[in-house]
Amino acid sequence: MKFSLAAATALFAGAAVAQNVAIAHPPAGASMTSGQNFTVQLNKANSLSPSSDIAVVIGLNSCTSGACPDPSQEIGYVLYSGPFSPSQSDDPALPPNQNFTVQIPPAYQGGQYQIACAHFSLIGVSICAP
């Protein structure tokens, strides 16, 4: 399933968007296997009002010949799409965050992949920081 962000972004044309959500887990370079369930942890910048969150889409892109697609253009295979409601965890060192358990499609073969994420809030749509 491919999903293009271009149309959604256009809905919010003119809105200044900043990267206010970061993919905190898995770490860059993590290695996983087909069919594996894993946690995607999204951290939200502390300064923003929690009420502005609407949803996130987390996608998986294949990086062929070492080059990953631009996540602002292509979200890839959708691993999760739904509400985003970050909360303060027990660890006070962490900003408000939410963990999503997602599964790598069993048919996916070895290679390099990229997790991309789009954050929908009242401010607009932005791509999560890597």
94 phi and psi, to 5 degrees?
A: -90, 140
Stretch of residues binding ligand NAG (CB under 6 A), selected from 26-34, 46-54, 67-75, 97-105:
97-105
Output DSSP code: residue 7. H
Among 9, 20, 43, 97, binds ligand NAG (CB under 6 A): 97
Using CB under 6 A, which of 89, 100, 104, 129 touches ligand NAG?
A: 89
How big is the chain by its Cα radius of gyration, in Å? 15
CB of 14 to ligand NAG, least distance (A): 33
* Cα–Cα dist 33/59, whole Å: 16
DSSP string, 91-112: -TTSPSEEEEEEE--TTPPSSE
Smallest distance, ligand NAG to C-beta of residue 32, A: 12
Select the residue interacting with ligand NAG from 91, 92, 93, 109 (CB under 6 A): 91
Residues 6+ apart with CB under 8 A from 55: 81, 82, 83, 84, 119, 120
Per CB under 6 A, which region of 61-69, 77-85, 89-97, 110-118 contacts ligand NAG?
A: 89-97
Task: Examine residue 37 and tell whether it contacts ligand NAG (CB under 6 A).
Answer: yes
Interface ranges with ligand NAG (CB under 6 A): 37, 41, 87, 89-91, 94, 97-99, 103
